[in-house]
Structure 1
């Protein structure tokens, strides 16, 4: 068995049951979360032969930041349940692989502590009903060295979860999230997700922070173009790990349309959801993504082996991508093109 394939089971042995369920579950009937990896598996490759692949190059840049491989770690919450050092441990593991880490606005660690690790990081932000809360989060992130803002756009309300036992909020002690706000300072209504957002929010975030803004949760070409036209530096093709509208299309199916809509623009494309193998990364890049994000696997790795586990996850995926790149007959990730695979599956 691949080490990566055994991570979730190993993590389940260490995590409280409610926390493991929270990490792995999707919304409602779990259709989208169940389809994510299968959609990547459905692609078939059309490799070149008789090409010199004695050396290959996995390096790229993401919003101008150089990385050793096009695999980044997605923002997730409740990381202190996976490792006592939470986001600090995650950032350290990502930094050792010379990649970029996304940090949740619900983080259980201060942005200052995360920034002190020195790993390049992007803030994931929910714009909430009390905009002052969002502004305070943004200012704290900028002060701590965040390099980009990731606007989560697919959460006007939180997707419904069907728990079959105590929820995570009933078993986890206080202080595990929202470390960048004073506890009890704001009411639950104020922290509710804003449901009145338009593309104008992209410019508002950019002006406040002076940072590039990416929009996460894009599944359609027309929405991607609206984001680009409003000034987004990037979009993340995502269905929130299957945790929002159940039955949303797999991200593997959404990338081609988004790439077509953004052709000729400078807006960078990223994708998350169900990526578990180097071949999945290869397919995403060939379809037009600049890099991919992994979420749940990073939580499992952090739970099982701490920071070194996160580093191993990224380097193992990088090794698999290196192998696949040689077999498909392409020397650089930047040279991958859509003609290298059949986009409709078998």
Structure 2
């Protein structure tokens, strides 16, 4: 029996899509918070194209296929999840809702997917994972920067592993922060009362610096493949994934240095503006991986059809950030659940309407690309 979409209504608001959630969630945030979460760097080209780039790919449905037993589930990071979507590590979630990462962890556990925990989480890795376990089985990864203080970096790794994380997501695209005009115009500073316990910063320490200067004080711009990957490997048995890859060359290096996977990502358009949309960078990264290393993607995913397209182009799994923030701002844990429910339902329907009965059946044959000079081009 076909599932009916759940309609959430608060007052006169009806939330049917991630676009609806963005609109209503953003309304609940003051300008400086909204700009921090929603904006990208400089001209906003990449943050915009991350989503619009999906529109040039068209879906090629197959008909008269028996999809009565279609399954959206797949195995990611050694655990079966309900569909190929997980929640990206995103910091400062308590700025969107007081429960922050705790609410997100509970929502992910309820939906049966993995969650990434940011080094800039407002709650500890132990608290976030425990919140999820109170709901059901969980899967978490720990996001990490290369830090000037190696002892602190090691403490984060040790705590994440002891708490039950399965992987380290090393953010590799941030030797410095991107140029974010809105943060500078607003003199953005983390609001009073919020802390960064994983990097051991109290409210008083945070208030003394801007977000940009605080980042520069602890982050190391001397990171390198040769130094960082062997060092992390010497400290943990967790998987090591590289987050922020956009080229085949870096996928090959990730393979060379024995990494377990890469996340094709441009930091949600918040670092270098004018880089390729992640969906456009994905095919060359998948080709370079050649099945020897796993490839995931984040950035700009706003519909279940977007997830379908990314899987068709070779991603094993997709990760989302801003839709979760909008859900938190809208209605805390229930808002995050709504975001995940929308994307799950849309992805499931997309699979069934294309005749796919399993995630493994989604392939390049399911897509075409729009050509200006004539008919749809098959991939």
Q: Does 1:130 align with 2:156?
A: no
Q: Does 1:302 align with 2:328?
A: yes
Partner of 1:42: 56
Q: 1:193 to 1:8 in 2, by over 3 A?
A: farther
In 2: Cα distance, 1:41 partner to 1:68 partner: 25
In 2: Cα distance, 1:229 partner to 1:60 partner: 27
Higher-Rg structure is 2
In 1: Cα distance, 2:326 partner to 2:102 partner: 16
Residue 279 of structure 1, aligned match among 282, 296, 305:
305
Residue 209 of structure 1, aligned match among 204, 228, 236:
236
The CA RMSD over aligned residues, in Å, is 2.1
Structure 1's unaligned 5+ residue stretches are none
Contact in 2 for aligned 1:130/1:190 (Cα 8 Å): no
CA-to-aligned-CA distance 1:16-69 (integer Å, 9 cap, x gap): 210110000101111100111110121012222332212211101111011011
TM score, norm. by length of structure 2: 0.86
Partner of 2:377: none
Which range is displaced more, 198-207 or 88-97? 198-207
In 2: Cα distance, 1:254 partner to 1:343 partner: 15
In 1: Cα distance, 2:231 partner to 2:370 partner: 38
SS in structure 2 of the partner of residue 108 of structure 1: coil
Contact in 1 for aligned 2:264/2:281 (Cα 8 Å): yes
Partner of 1:191: 218
TM score, norm. by length of structure 1: 0.94
Structure 2's unaligned 5+ residue stretches are 1-14, 207-212, 373-379
Partner of 2:104: 90
Aligned residues: 344
In 1: Cα distance, 2:231 partner to 2:282 partner: 27
**Structure 1 runs, 4 residues or longer, greater than 4 Å off:** 187-190, 343-346
SS in structure 2 of the partner of residue 102 of structure 1: strand
Q: 1:190 to 1:12 in 2, by over 3 A?
A: closer
Partner of 1:102: 116
Contact in 2 for aligned 1:27/1:244 (Cα 8 Å): yes
Partner of 2:11: none
Contact in 1 for aligned 2:82/2:113 (Cα 8 Å): yes
Contact in 2 for aligned 1:259/1:269 (Cα 8 Å): yes
Displacement of 1:200: 4.6
Contact in 2 for aligned 1:88/1:109 (Cα 8 Å): yes
CA-to-aligned-CA distance 1:206-241 (integer Å, 9 cap, x gap): 331210011100111121121022111111000000
Contact in 1 for aligned 2:94/2:194 (Cα 8 Å): no
Displacement of 1:176: 3.5
Contact in 1 for aligned 2:72/2:359 (Cα 8 Å): yes
